[in-house]
Structure 1
């Protein structure tokens, strides 16, 4: 394991220090796509993931599109809260007292169409939450025996509502639209997002934590599909158009969050700049102990991308007349990218450490939650 990851691990073990103001959200409710899906799509579609998914932390596929923990898992750790169970995963005695995860891989903000891989768009996720809340309160009214498993009534108002969604709206649009058309679609996407947030606010949600979207053009999947012409790549080897769309989306998302900070009376709306964190990681990967910023750890084809859209990580298929298996690299801690689309646990650890400094948030939240003090060397 790299020195950087050892430092992060030691920090999490030895320095769980906090500021005087406690971060005391009793529960977390998460909405999003595969960046924070802890098993929703797999459970909802009756599907499965194959090894080596989950190999680093869970030692088996856990419904997460990662070799280990996701960013949401690491943030829950930092809050001293348990991992969030997926809303639709009914087996394994799920406990929802500290929150629930509605995020589903491949989900978009806009309503799903017949061709989408996930039917669980943002509006559906919000509707699932509203049903979850009604059902939980109904059960709690029937007796104290349910209090061990479900959020209490005031948890819904005092809880933290986290959002990491929008990436698929942009990335998917590039398969059929020009850059100008993608940019023109962003206001409609954010109108839908605002509608969902207002539904939650009207139901008592007050603490909103909104992640912007990352540098889409730096994902091996998009480089393989849209970066065959070197003129379409930037100095980091990322697809320029995709990152331009992500930046434009983030500017408007930031403006929306500022608007809601004013219009949602009594609420806290925090905008988190994931794009800057991930872009810095990709641009300066060696400084943080990584060796591969874009190449997928788990895939086929070898450098420079090790990615083939015809075969997913862990699968075996006949490609071009030969049977091949998409296997994992020897050491995933050397890689930022896990399977061409998602980040490794090692990269997620870096991103979470930066989020927890508070400096990538508007307004800053470092005075409201415990976070790990940086080691100086």
Structure 2
């Protein structure tokens, strides 16, 4: 995950790139209006740390005089290249505060790979934003630019025609190579060579199809000279060359670079009107390692920032990088003052995600959003969620997702929830088990980062009109709707008893988070309990049970009983927390009983169907795990499509796992009525509650 480029080395790499542009672009006027960067820590200007805030000093010490999300003491290659082309620094796509995308966007994140990661960020430090995700983000960015060009007042976006007039830089692959080298030696690099090259070229062609015409493809540096890899890679003393580098690893990288160059040349023939520039950064960086004094430097294979002494000044157990930091980043009376919530800050999963997950991993398809928004809106429902109705009832606008960098308005709060999030830190990859990397601890760190940025921008800048005032954090409502994925994620594998073993940990992590937010100024907390998952169509299909386990309403008794046990633990823990933090309203919200009544007596709430999904296909529950809502997949030799019903207002379940807008409205009304709180909290009499439509 190490980044090499800093100071003079970045300037040299930038010079080589510029020479390549001038040579390849000799027949066309070189005047790029924007730059779009794809890559890893070598070109990340803050994207990773916008999503996973955790970067301490001494990063950024040289130029910015503070950490800025770059894996360097100062500027990196992308910064110098932008400057050389007469462009400002490129804002990270995932940075939602203070960004300016008029001259491009940076999709690179530290730890990113070309290949889809199969392990968790919190296990081996590999970013979930691999190359295809970055390309998908560009696609979504382009769609947003075209959409917002129709409106007045959006001043931080480029014109829609910019995509054919921009430079696209691709500087990625180092983490794939070093990951396989660390486990398989030089042979590990050769094992994935063709796959890496193929997927890089596929990404270029996909960008070309979106209008891109000028590409800079940088090869991989001599990893056999990097201090961290000299310490960690398996090798023998005979493998060292005269410069102190590992010859076998550098030779393997050279083979990869040759294959990449050949494929870029072939792609150049296929994409006739495109400028594809292969840039040999390897030779530049190798010379820096071999002859640092020739370039005004002193030390080649010794790290500036590290610990451990020796020739490399590097100790992998004390490495000051994001992987270690991320893994570390793990009854009293109710105050009845007049309620005037100026904002809501929400933490959760898909039950309250208003677009965060799909901002980071674009993929939302119809029929999601069909009822209210008339298009996918990043919500796992046909329309609005409980959090949408709750905001409306309190006289606030919909909450903008923290990870949504375009069109967001944070004056009345922010939503840190993302689909598939857990309370516990995930140990598996999103692309293997579907669990979001944005666990509760990450959402809390995002909140802290958000608060710091609000303080910073109000102190140092004027004209920032999409942020709240710094005093808002003590005058806000903090909502938690999370834990369902911790409960259900492992149920098919370890059963109810296995899940019960770690439920106390889930509860403790929630209450600890409340205490941390209290320390930041938060005073009013609504914590929703878990829903009766034994009534959900998806779990009725997927979870093992017997006929005797089904109650008269068609729900699984054993699973619902287990949820009730968890809810009791949560309720008691919140009661205890209430006694530990003075002057706070910590409210347990019993959404479970509302949803259970909806499943058991849908007609009492104006609905018809309880345990049958609106959007799905097959069987009594209209749910097939092989074909999820809105998808078409082959099943037993034929393509099946999971479509939506025409009357979602008659259903409790939208897609087998999530609720319809109609059901969400019933739950929200129960909350706003104040009848499901413990301890009692007179929300309606204390607050100016608005009717929800």
Provide the TM-score with structure 2 as the length reference.
0.49
Show structure 2 runs of 5+ residues with no match: 1-335
How many residues get paired?
351
Q: Give the CA deviation at 1:173.
A: 2.4
Closer/same/farther in 2, CA of residues 88 and 372 from structure 1, 3 Å limit = closer
Residues 313-343 of structure 1: per-residue CA shift (max 9 Å, x gap): 1111111111111100120011000000000
Match of 2:353 among 12, 37, 47: 37
Question: What does residue 8 of structure 1 align with?
Answer: none
Verify: 1:138 aligned to 2:449, yes or no.
no
Q: What is residue 418 of structure 2 aligned with on the other side?
A: 104
Where do 1:308-347 residues align within 5 Å?
Answer: 308-347=624-663
Does the residue aligned with 1:73 lie in a helix, a strand or coil?
A: helix
Q: What residue number does 2:576 align with?
A: 259
Distance 1:263 1:350 in 2: 33
Taking the aligned partners of 2:678 and 2:402, their CA distance within structure 1 comes to 29
Q: Label 1:313 to 1:336 Cα distance change in 2 as closer, same or farther (>3 A).
A: same
In the TM superposition, residue 22 of structure 1 has moved relative to its aligned partner by 5.0
Quote how far apart the aligned CAs of 1:370 are. Answer: 3.3
2:468 paired with 1:151: yes
Match of 2:363 among 45, 48, 54: 48
Superposition pairs of residues 156-305 of structure 1, within 5 angstroms = 156-226=473-543, 229-301=546-618, 303-305=619-621
User: Corresponding residue for 2:404?
Assistant: 89
In terms of Rg, which structure is larger?
2
Partners in 2 of 1:278 and 1:227 — Cα distance? 22
Other structure's SS at 1:356 match: helix
Q: What SS class does the counterpart of residue 28 from structure 1 fall into?
A: strand
Tell me the secondary structure at the aligned position of residue 276 of structure 1: helix
Alpha carbons 2:508, 2:573 under 8 Å: kept:
no
Deviations 1:132-173 (A, max 9, x none): 111111011123422x31121110111111000011111112
Conserved 8 A contact 1:28-1:99: yes
SS of match in other structure, 1:124: helix
Q: Which has the higher contact order (CA 8 A, sep 6+)?
A: 1
Instruction: State which of 106, 110, 129 in structure 1 corresponds to 2:447.
Output: 129
Unaligned 5+ runs, structure 1: 1-19
Once the two structures are superposed, residues 195-230 of structure 1 have per-residue CA deviations (whole angstroms, 9 ceiling, x without a partner) of 222221121211111111110111111000125531
2: distance between equivalents of 1:354 and 1:258? 21
- Cα displacement (A) at 1:365: 2.4
Q: State the Cα deviation string for residues 92-148 of structure 1 (Å, max 9, x = none).
A: x211010000001111101112244200110110011111111111011123422x3
In 2, are the aligned partners of 1:227 and 1:233 still within 8 Å (CA)? no
Moved more, 170-179 or 63-72: 170-179
| TM-score for both structures, normalised by structure 1 | 0.89
Pick closer, same or farther for the CA change 1:144–1:368 going to 2, 3 Å: farther
